[in-house]
Amino acid sequence: MDCNDAQFYLRLARPGLDAPEPDVAAALDRHLAGCPGCAADARRLAAFDAAVGSAMRAVEVPVGLRSKLVADLSARRGAVLRRRAYRVAAVAASALLAVGLAVGAFTASRPTFDPDERALRADEQATVPGAEAAVRDWLTDQGLPARLPAPFDYGLLVMFGTEPVQGRDVPVVVFRDRVGTGTAKVYALRPSQFKLKDVRPAQASGWQLQVLPEDRSTGVAFVVLFTGDSLAPFLHTDPGA
Amino acid sequence: MASAGGLHGLIDAHYEALYRYAYRLAGSAADAEDLTQEAFGKAIARLPQLRDPDKAKGWLFRILRNAYLHRVRDQKRHRAVPLDAVGELPGRPEDDPPEVDPARLQQALDDLDEAFRTPLILFYFEDFSYRDIAEQMDLPIGTVMSRLARGKAYLRSRLAPSGAAAGNGAAGGPRRAGNGL
Ligand SMILES: [Zn+2]
């Protein structure tokens, strides 16, 4: 091995990770033993790599980072699981409502439903402070009564928006229960779009359908699809609140 | 989805290395913390993609680097030393300082294009082979070797005692292209 080759391998070789082939290593060693110039370079290169390496790795990891990461992980896992549960619930509820309202009066094609988009919006909406005021403003904008006809707990709000039902965009406000496993979807049905007498209670898969009192001035009917036995888990525990 | 225990295991095994990488990559503790958090967050969602648990570290490093590149692209930040300005390897190594100040090293890294910064960091972390680095960066191994050689030459010029003041114009070192930008 000549000086050129030696210099090449000196810069390439890394003990442990990228060691040269044994015969190359032996040839390099023989060259270094007989060439003071290359041997000195080898020492300098190794010293440089050692000094830079230890400086590179000298980064103090913040105390408490691990617990922060674990907490964040738990929160994300919760969100992922809630999102999945909601996705399933939303699709099921949408299908049930479609069945409940299917009276043949509308010829529009089957409603589509994008659970991913809904779930995304659910995450955004849930973090909005002043949820009740936001829903109130939005309902008013839609020409709907400002208040839902039951004392829903807005701390449990998941999302609000519209959902296509039988080809019509139907305003809907979604709540979860305190445990996070139940879902209630409050649909606002305009008399111009749906005839209330056509709404039948859903009969499948643990979903209940409840018709709330109609708003007299607008004629808007609120229909709730919910999981569980009653609406109570979605309402304020303090009736005065 | 893997169990919480598996995810905690991933955190325990890799969070320190990941944070150090993020710090050297981004140059600040706050960014490093954010990036580490983001990387684990993305890892959770993609955990089913991790077929071989032995490759978890490289996989996490890759996720973190992508998160970093995404941010840099969004911020339209450009490093002062572009690829072309990094000089070739000097003929002979100079006498190097026995110790390198980590903060000064960081300054030098901050000024370097990510294309050079990442292989240097991974090289000096001593956990990744040339092939590992090439896989991390989706580059041919020869390109990685060449960037490492040029990156080391740059560091040598920036960290040499004579290069302390400016870091400019040292033999084989980078010219800070676009000083006015
Ligand atoms: Zn020689």
CATH architecture of B80-181: Orthogonal Bundle (1.10)
Using DSSP, how many helices (H) and how many strands (E) does chain B show?
A: 7, 0
* Mean pLDDT computed over B96-124: 90
CB of B110 less than 8 A from some CB of A: no
CATH architecture of B4-75: Orthogonal Bundle (1.10)
Q: Do A73 and B44 touch (CB under 8 A)?
A: yes
Range list for CATH 1.10.1740.10 in chain B: 4-75
Res A93: pLDDT = 61
When pLDDT is cut at 50, 70 and 90, the band that residue A82 belongs to is: low
Res A84: pLDDT = 58
Candidates B93, B124, B129; nearest CB to A18: B129
When pLDDT is cut at 50, 70 and 90, the band that residue B80 belongs to is: low
Q: Do A69 and B12 touch (CB under 8 A)?
A: no
Q: How close B82 gets to chain A, by Cα (Å)?
A: 21
Percent share of chain A, pLDDT over 70: 68
* Residue to test with chain A: of B42, B88, B124, most A Cβ within 10 A: B124
Candidates B89, B97, B130; nearest CB to A51: B97
Candidates A17, A45, A66; nearest CB to B11: A66
pLDDT digits (tens, 9 = 90+) for A126-135: 444 567 877 8
Q: Of the ranges A225-229, B81-85, B124-128, which is most confident?
A: B124-128
* A79 pLDDT higher than 80: no
Q: Do A59 and B96 touch (CB under 8 A)?
A: no
The alpha carbon of A40 and the centre of ligand 1 are apart by a number of angstroms equal to 9
Q: Do A59 and B24 touch (CB under 8 A)?
A: yes
Range list for CATH 1.10.10.10 in chain B: 80-181
Res B16: pLDDT = 95
Res B126: pLDDT = 84
Give the ipTM of the model, two decimals please. 0.82
pLDDT digits (tens, 9 = 90+) for A1-45: 899 989 988 888 887 778 788 888 899 999 999 999 999 999 988
Q: Do A48 and B93 touch (CB under 8 A)?
A: yes
Res B99: pLDDT = 84
pLDDT digits (tens, 9 = 90+) for B92-101: 556 655 688 9
CB of B52 less than 8 A from some CB of A: no
Res A185: pLDDT = 86
Q: A55 to chain B: nearest residue by CA?
A: B102
Q: Do A69 and B36 touch (CB under 8 A)?
A: yes
SS (H, E, C) chain A: CCHHHHHHHHHHCECCCECCCHHHHHHHHHHHHHCHHHHHHHHHHHHHHHHHHHHHHCCCCCCCHHHHHHHHHHHHHHHHHHHHHHHHHHHHHHHHHHHHHCCCCCCCCCCCCCHHHHHHHHHHHHCCCCHHHHHHHHHHHCCCCCCCCCCECHHHEEEEEEEEECCEEEEEEEEECCCCCCEEEEEEECCCCCCHHHCCCCCCCCEEEEEECCCCCCCCEEEEEEECCCCHHHECCCCCC
Res B83: pLDDT = 52
* A117 pLDDT higher than 50: no
Round to whole Å and give the CA distance between B20 and B18.
5
